[in-house]
Structure 1
Amino acid sequence: MKSIFTLTKYSTLIVIFLLCSCEKFLEIDAPVDETVSETVFDSKKTIESSVVGLYSQMSSSNNYAMNGFLSVYSGLSADELRNTSGTANVEQFRTNELMNSNALLLNNLWRAYYAYIYHSKAVLEGLQTTKAVTEEEKQPFMGEMLFVRAISYFYLVNLFGDVPLILSTDYESNRRLKRTETAKIYQQVTSDLLLAEKYLPADYPSSEKIRPNLFVAKALLARIYLFTGQYDKAKSKADEVIGSGLYELEKQLDFVFLPTSKEAIWQLYPTNTSYNSSEGFTFIPSSTTARPAYMLTESLLQAFENGDKRKENWSGTRKIGNISYTYPFKYKVRSGTDKTEYNTVLRLAELYLIRAEANAQTGNIHEAIKDVNVIRTRAGLENLAENLSKEECLSAVTQEKRIEFFAEWGHRWLDLKRTASADVVLGSLKDSWQSSDALYPIPQTEITKNPFLIQNPNY
């Protein structure tokens, strides 16, 4: 069968076709259009269009995989948020009683991530054969696509567990793939990122941080090593990012999510014409009299220490009748055509906390405390005591990360699971909690179409 990566001489149509094709690759029916053209890879300009178009797709739809989904729905799963409207398919995330027929799982998450994976692989395959650019010119594009595949699989395995590992654009083989063990997917993710490190330059491809550079790959590698218990490597990669001199914590919390943020490592430019970030559009009330769609839970609000600037700067309160609703307010712009806030995917604060946890795990408590105090100082809090035990230090890191990254990219949800804390923490907060709730179910539509794909065993 011909490749379903159909090519066109019109660079403006590249992304549209690619994303139509990648939905087809997860379906039973073969793609309708199997026309193959060479012209997408006829010039550096059209190659770049296909790369940049993938980032555009990531930020074009509200509350999709790389644009708000984790902040909202995983925030509900982790008891950071409450849904004030009670919408049924949204409420399933809060109660951790997800149905495998939930359309949000299928369209906004599963298919979206596999679309990014398919797109990135299609570009990688095209780069292998094109003569329009030199081998040296190919490498940055390859590095970007390897990074996209890596971050997509990172979220898939952390949300669903074992999932199919797609390494080609061959439709016939992909439609019959079984689930791959999470450990093997982490091996692929690590391999992709190590190769991306070799290919990506230290400088960003543009004047902003909206496409990956070398340190974006290193930042994600630091996270991967932490999640896989390779603490020395996690510390080493965090050291490289923090010590690069390219980034620094913003002193003002309101500057963290701006395009000019010194703290931002990788951001997505908001391509939707009506709003900036999905979080801003979703969390900020639609009018001065409107109730927020989502409110912070009481357990989260009680976790803030007195005087924490993050509660003051990153949350808002709206009183409707006799009820006060406190909502996430990290992003300040709900809607508008001016792009003044960017979707911030990776930022420096995480690298300090990765390094802190890695140091604590390896017994270097003094250095771990120093890094936690960097974050606490910015938040207006006192330094931690110097004589903490290892367990106390790790608890302090967990607390700091919970507050620093509340309602942001699902950090809390993923951390509760990787540290085997979900049963204890969420079991005490949610009457319906079961251990099997830690993984989202694979959408039934995908299982029906692929007889080799089985559901998570405990679902």
Structure 2
Amino acid sequence: MKRFTNITRLAAVILATIGTLNSCKPDLESLNGPSTGTFPANAKEAEMGLFGAYQNISTLDAASTPIWHVMDNITDIGYARPGTNYTSPITSAVTTDNALANKPWQVHYQTIARCHTVLDNLERIKSSMTDDDYGQLDAELRFIRAYCYSQLIELYGDVPLLTHAVDLNNSSVPRTPKAEIEQFLLEELTQIADKLPVSQAQYGNVRASRVAAYMLKARVALYAKRYAEAAEAANTAITLSSGVYDLTDFNSTVSYAGKDHTVGEPDLSNIYGHAGFKTSKEWIWVAEYNQTIPGNTHNQQYYSASRLGKGVCYWGPTQDLINTFQCTDGLPITESPLYDASKPFEHRDPRLDMYCARPHARYVGYQFEPATSFATVKNYWPVITGQAAAPASVSNADATNAYRSFSGYLWRKPINLADYATTSVSGVSDLNVGIFRFAELLLIYAEAKIEANELDNTVYDAINRIRHRAQMPGLPTGLSQAQLRTALRYERKVELADDGLRWYDLRRWGIANKVMNGYIYLNRDAKAWTKEVLTGFDENYTPIYNHTEAIKYFTTQKVVYKENKDELWPVPKSEMDANKQLTQNPGY
């Protein structure tokens, strides 16, 4: 049974008491509890307000799936069930009222408002707190605010920078240049980082730590192309992580990678499952969910899983991602002698099977076969639960349902296998979701050093730690800056797949106009293919297709990216209507 912290419980109490904690002050103060007029009256209330801000971040979702497991599915590596909200972002058709594009603006500014409700009044209770407690509370609130702004500027560019609450009489605020906000964030994170404890593992890492603050600073600096600052901040975070945060080895199921359903099911629960979020040292910052709190759940597992596995196959990897995974000798599939197109999943980077579900594998207790030639498949749950010595046969809904996987593949990261023994078809889940992971921290450091052209052994060490955890060979030594950049982009593409960072990577690297124009390839019918579908990989580790040959086997989704438009999402129309000083992004 999962052990919950008190964060979401206390947040629910305070939010129920004082409503949404927005910046507008009511005329009458509550007679039964705190109101926005007196809040916070003491340190306990201030802490509860902090928890409310943390909880609000967890409300950022789409299709009942936390945003971190949505964003990659509107890129070249992931695909969503076709529909307005998810097809329009990859066809340059997002409108100003698109729900996916609107929600981050709304939720992040709600979260910022909750931070300000406490921050603006924190000074008046300072005398009742120790300096350390006051400094940490202040720092955590400012960290949350900084995270929200770091997301807003990447999605929308220039946005209003609010450092205090605004009331309705002063709610029209112009957009602040992105570069000015980046500078604000870097200075802010520098000021608060050392006021935070190195780790907050006792809270399940759902509260910000010093390592998280330096990691956020490193990410902001990296995205701003301020590589020296990014490398320095990332190095500080890595140094602080010694003995606290680290990569977590894959469990024994990594031995099933490259093998079929009869052997076993690859399982990530020691990292991405309930147990992993409780004990893995890999998680630096986590979004917490709790079924005992109304509204603090999601349907991520329901939307992710196969039809036989009580899911609706809403999201899945593309053929482009599947083809990207190297062979176990570290070579791309177009060059490795280990690659056999008739057995395309053998001798591949184990992360293919650890992070993705593909034909002939076992997934959520069933043989996964999208091909209609498999009329029946094996159900391993009687074996898993100890009710039988052999699997049962069942009709293959994963090949016949009209809403089976649209890409031919599914994600393993967002699920916890044990939940499928009991989860109803509604799929309500409180599996936590990771926001900052040690693997990303290592890659931030490596990328910053590569882009600064400081190609020392620490770059190899950072990348190779991740490759060795995946049982892949280390990089050859003596690589050029361009070669290391390609290696780094491979690692970010496969290691961080479905962590929600690919959308940002494509834009900050300036390659979205190439990668997201033309076609992405899918294999809904699980057809076999030949080597001739690929001619190689480019410098960004994007597969290059022989389109004429590829469409004999794969289906396609046409993708469109318009420069000077699709770098950003539109400012929501509702926000433009409410704030007359806002201007719209180009192209909308």
Q: TM-score, normalised by structure 1?
A: 0.87
Of 278, 292, 295, the residue aligned with 2:316 is 295
Match of 2:250 in 1: 252
Match of 1:185 in 2: 181
Of 75, 83, 89, the residue aligned with 1:78 is 75
Identity of aligned residues (%): 25
Q: CA deviation at 1:13?
A: 4.7
Change (3 A) 1:20 1:139: same
Q: Please say if 1:163 is aligned against 2:159.
A: yes
Alignment deviations for residues 173-198 of structure 1 (CA, whole Å, 9 cap, x no partner): 65211111000111121122112213
Single out whichever of 366-375 and 304-313 deviates more from structure 2.
366-375
Single out whichever of 281-290 and 169-178 deviates more from structure 2.
281-290
Letter in 1 for 2:316: M
Alignment deviations for residues 53-110 of structure 1 (CA, whole Å, 9 cap, x no partner): 2222322564399x722431x22332222223x232232223232111113333x311
2: CA distance, partners of 1:357 / 1:19? 43
Q: CA deviation at 1:427?
A: 2.1
Change (3 A) 1:54 1:287: farther
Asked whether the 8 Å contact 2:219–2:230 carries over to 1, the reply is yes
Match of 2:463 in 1: 372
Change (3 A) 1:177 1:61: closer
Of 580, 583, 588, the residue aligned with 1:451 is 580
Asked whether the 8 Å contact 1:60–1:271 carries over to 2, the reply is no
Alignment deviations for residues 188-232 of structure 1 (CA, whole Å, 9 cap, x no partner): 211221122132122427342110111110111111121122222
Of 390, 398, 401, the residue aligned with 2:492 is 401
Asked whether the 8 Å contact 2:303–2:312 carries over to 1, the reply is no
- The DSSP-based 3-state class of the residue aligned with 1:400 is helix
Q: Please say if 1:418 is aligned against 2:508.
A: yes
Single out whichever of 267-276 and 307-316 deviates more from structure 2.
267-276
Alignment deviations for residues 111-135 of structure 1 (CA, whole Å, 9 cap, x no partner): 1010111111221112122243244
- The DSSP-based 3-state class of the residue aligned with 1:295 is strand
Asked whether the 8 Å contact 1:264–1:346 carries over to 2, the reply is yes
1: CA distance, partners of 2:413 / 2:17? 35
Q: Please say if 1:269 is aligned against 2:359.
A: no
Change (3 A) 1:38 1:290: closer
Match of 1:118 in 2: 113
The alignment yields a C-alpha RMSD, in angstroms, of: 2.8
Asked whether the 8 Å contact 2:198–2:209 carries over to 1, the reply is yes
Alignment deviations for residues 221-250 of structure 1 (CA, whole Å, 9 cap, x no partner): 111121122222222222222222111110
Q: CA deviation at 1:340?
A: 8.2
2: CA distance, partners of 1:379 / 1:320? 27
Greater helix share, structure number: 1
Q: Write the mapping of 1:23-422 to structure 2, written as runs, cut at 5 A.
A: 35=29, 40-60=39-59, 62-63=61-62, 68-72=66-70, 74-84=71-81, 86-106=82-102, 108-130=103-125, 131-172=127-168, 174-204=170-200, 206-244=202-240, 245=242, 246-252=244-250, 254=268, 255-257=270-272, 258=276, 259-273=278-292, 279-285=300-306, 287-288=308-309, 291-306=312-327, 307-317=348-358, 318-320=368-370, 322=372, 323=399, 325-333=408-416, 341-367=431-457, 368-409=459-500, 411-422=501-512
Q: TM-score, normalised by structure 2?
A: 0.69
Alignment deviations for residues 114-165 of structure 1 (CA, whole Å, 9 cap, x no partner): 0111111221112122243244321111110111011101110101111111
Q: CA deviation at 1:275?
A: 8.6
Alignment deviations for residues 17-50 of structure 1 (CA, whole Å, 9 cap, x no partner): 666353xx6xxxx666664566543332222111
How many aligned residue pairs are there?
439
2: CA distance, partners of 1:275 / 1:137? 27
Letter in 2 for 1:446: E
2: CA distance, partners of 1:243 / 1:279? 34
Match of 2:260 in 1: none
Asked whether the 8 Å contact 1:222–1:233 carries over to 2, the reply is yes
Compare CA radii of gyration and give the structure with the larger one: 2
2: CA distance, partners of 1:95 / 1:278? 26
2: CA distance, partners of 1:173 / 1:369? 55
2: CA distance, partners of 1:301 / 1:256? 21
Single out whichever of 320-329 and 277-286 deviates more from structure 2.
277-286
Asked whether the 8 Å contact 2:57–2:108 carries over to 1, the reply is no
Q: Which runs of 4+ in 1 moved over 4 A?
A: 10-13, 16-19, 30-34, 36-39, 272-279, 334-341
- The DSSP-based 3-state class of the residue aligned with 1:41 is coil
Asked whether the 8 Å contact 2:463–2:488 carries over to 1, the reply is yes
- The DSSP-based 3-state class of the residue aligned with 1:20 is coil
